Structure 1
Amino acid sequence: MSRPRPGRSVRDEDPDRLYTVTGGRSRSDASRFDLVTLVVSECDPVVGMQSEHAMILRICRSPTAVVELASDLRLPVSIVRILLGDLLDAGRITARHPQTRAPGAGAFPDPHVLKQVLVGLRNL
């Protein structure tokens, strides 16, 4: 995978490359993966796998939020969601939303999840 050169932002990324990475797809089902959805690999990368898919599987050996993946891969969240959809459909990852509490039972988010989101946002 080619990463943006130092000093280049994702916005400077070649749109043709992003088109190729997603196989020409430009939309994903955003309801499947929000920014804090935790993704976990269910297998190791295999020979011949697209490099971005392989990197996702390596990064997600432990639960990783979608926003963190986008930061680590230096790709827009929309592109990462498309790649994650491919892996989920193939059974190579599992995705789960952070647990939420029942209304009225201390409606504050889990501090661990908030910390993960903050780390991911700082990495952007």
Structure 2
Amino acid sequence: MSRPVDRESPDRLYTITSGRSRGGDEVFDAVTLVVAECDPTPGMQSEHSRILRMCQRPMAVVEVSARLGLPVNVVRILLTDLLDAGRITARHPTAVNSAVSPFASPDVLEKVLVALQKL
């Protein structure tokens, strides 16, 4: 009988990161959006292939981590490999500037609150 694979066993994590313990910290934070720029190729590491398949649409690093069942730090290393190879692009979500956005004004928020209370 075979044992179930422990996705966070130190030996497995060491293997899939090629022994690296750091990488991508300056490029990838938890909410960085990742998009695949190509399809997986034969012989590619299975985790890299899975990332490319799941990131056909923008996906946050933390979501990639959750779907792979791997720690965020390990996923950052894998994403760095793919970014360096030109297989993904990464971008940070744009912040909403409250001075420009009419939806962030206190008057609009108060009107929404009043309307919700009337329901």
* Fold in common (TM above 0.5): yes
Q: Which amino acid aligns with 1:40?
A: V
Is 1:98–2:93 an aligned residue pair?
yes
The one-letter code sitting in structure 2 at the alignment partner of 1:87 is: L
- Match status 1:41 vs 2:23: no
CA distance in 1, matches of 2:11, 2:99: 48
CA distance in 2, matches of 1:18, 1:69: 16
Q: Offset at 1:102?
A: 4.1
- Once the two structures are TM-superposed, the CA of residue 96 in structure 1 deviates from its matched residue by 0.5
> Who wins on radius of gyration, i.e. which is larger?
2
Off by >2 Å, runs of 4+ in structure 1? 101-106
**CA deviation profile, 1:20-57 (whole Å, cap 9, x unmatched):** 00000000131200111000000000000000000000
Q: Which residue of 2 aligns with 1:29?
A: 24
2:24–2:79 CA contact under 8 A, matched in 1: no
Counterpart of 2:67 in structure 1 is: 72
Separation in 2, partners of 1:91, 1:81: 15
Quick one: distance in 1 between partners of 2:31 and 2:100? Answer: 21
Find the aligned partners of 1:104 and 1:24 in 2 and give their Cα distance: 46
Q: Which residue does the alignment assign to 1:112?
A: none
Partner-residue secondary structure (3-state), 2:34: strand
Number of aligned residue pairs: 100
Equivalent residue letter for 1:79? V
Which amino acid in structure 1 is aligned with residue 60 of structure 2? Answer: A
Tell me if 1:56 matches 2:16.
no
Query: Mind listing any 5+ residue stretches in structure 2 that lack a counterpart?
Result: 105-119
Distance 2:23 2:100 in 1: 33
Q: What SS is found at the alignment partner of 1:95?
A: strand
Matched-pair identity in %: 62
Deviation at 1:105, TM superposition (A): 3.4
